[in-house]
Chain A
Amino acid sequence: MSEEKVVRAERAIGRILQVGVLASAAVILVGLVLLLATGSSGYPAGAFPSDPAQVLAGLAAGRPYAVISAGLLLLILTPVLRVGISVIVFVREKDRPFVGITVLVFLILVASFLLGKVE
């Protein structure tokens, strides 16, 4: 694999992070402004959504906490997405060892999310 290909793969991975960061920051900011402007979280005191289904339901209802949590989920998923898309990048660059490495890391990450749900 040439030096040029390595740089190209790294640039692509950097761009994924950039998109994820900007999108999540924008959503969190909207949620925070909503929270401060309305003075209400959209949930009873001390409560907030803690799974993706609740977040989506709250998001549809325009609840400030749900908007913030959606942004936080985007932020949490950005590194996971980065690993997932890296698999595609390395497949395209025909870098066998790194296809294996990134697939393995991606599977471990998916397993950790599933384990969290089971608990």
Chain B
Amino acid sequence: MDAQLLLFVLAVFGISIGAGFLGSLLGLGGAIIVTPALTLLFGLDIRYAIGASIVSVIATSSGAAIAYIRDGITNVRIGMFLEIGTTLGAITGAFLSALVDPRFLSVTFGVLLLYSGIMMALKTKSELPEGVRNHPLSARLRLASSYRDPALGRDVAYNVDGAWGGLGMMYAAGVISGLLGIGSGAFKVMAMDLFMKLPMKVSSATSNFMIGVTAAASAGIYFLRGDIDPQVAAPVALGVLLGATVGARVMKRLKSRVLRLVFVPVLAVVAIQMIVKGVAP
């Protein structure tokens, strides 16, 4: 048995558990942790890091969605409607990525992380949105729904605003995802939050549900291009699946504000490291 390989696999597996856990809590793909960890800690080529991270996005999504759908937190109908935008955007982005320099990717990814961090820090302390109108399209597609919130100890019914605006933002999120190999969950959560005015947990769980499809649209292309190295992607997939399964069970009991406060500094540090790596000679 190759001891060095075993050590690498175990280290990547361990980090991926954490990535899947945090990703499933916040509606982000684990990529936000996996890509920087693989490039910064293990010195991996960003090409393979992105290939592995796109696998982590799919694993986070599918792993967490099982529990979120069972608990009724995921709004499957909203997710599927918005997937029209994310999948079209992902194709656009994946083709752009073959034309763009990896160093530029590093910087872009860093700026993207920083931006997500600021968006998350700006989140207000309101637990649930109030006085939301139901958009005519939302009414026609029956998007409004309700879920049981164990942290509040009651059922939460909600309307869905800004259906077209949300769909447009999802196209942008898809382009970013295809370009950088991440699910750009932060953008999806933000769009559902700001445009459609959904409760935070619904945005997070529904983003989680969608990022798998967005990533799958790009992952096929990455796989055929030879960017998905089995030795790296295997421990990532297994670790993330485990972490996401646990994370989805924990999330419903938590208030999202606490999570954001913990996560924002982590994002900021990683973002700055990525930007430095891309800019340094």
Please list the residues of chain A having a beta carbon within 8 angstroms of any beta carbon in chain B.
Answer: 1, 6-7, 9-11, 13-14, 17-18, 20-21, 24-25, 28-29, 31-32, 35-37, 39, 41, 48, 50-51, 64-65, 68-69, 71-73, 75-80, 82-83, 86, 97-98, 101-102, 104-105, 108-109, 111-113, 115-117, 119
Contacts and interface: CB of A to CB of B under 8 A. Distances in A.
Interface in B83-104: 83-84, 87-88, 90-91, 94-95, 98
B230 interface: yes
B81 interface: yes
A80 B221 contact: no
B225 A79 contact: no
Interface residues of B, number: 58
Given A21-B66, A83-B213, A98-B141, A72 B88 contact: no
Counting from the closest, the 9 A-B pairs by CB-CB distance are: A116-B221, A14-B69, A68-B230, A79-B212, A50-B226, A113-B220, A108-B87, A112-B217, A79-B216
A18 B62 CA distance: 8
Contacts of A73: 223
A116 to B, nearest CB: 3
Contacts of A71: 234, 237
B224 A48 contact: no
A73 B84 CA distance: 22
Contacts, number: 173
Contacts of B61: 79
B41 interface: no
Interface in B35-86: 55, 58-59, 61-63, 65-66, 69-70, 72, 74, 76-77, 80-81, 83-84
A24 B237 contact: yes
Contact of B230 (A36, A69, A80): A69
30 contacts: A1-B142, A6-B142, A10-B76, A11-B69, A13-B76, A14-B65, A14-B70, A21-B62, A21-B66, A29-B238, A32-B238, A36-B2, A41-B230, A48-B230, A50-B223, A50-B225, A65-B231, A72-B228, A73-B223, A75-B62, A76-B58, A80-B216, A97-B140, A105-B80, A105-B83, A108-B88, A112-B221, A116-B222, A117-B224, A119-B225
Contacts of A97: 140-141
Contacts of B63: 21
Nearest to B216: A79
B217 A48 contact: no
A17 B238 contact: no
Contacts of A113: 220-221
B65 to A, nearest CB: 5
Most buried by A among B5, B6, B219: B219
A101 B141 CA distance: 10
A12 B226 CA distance: 34
A56 B102 CA distance: 31
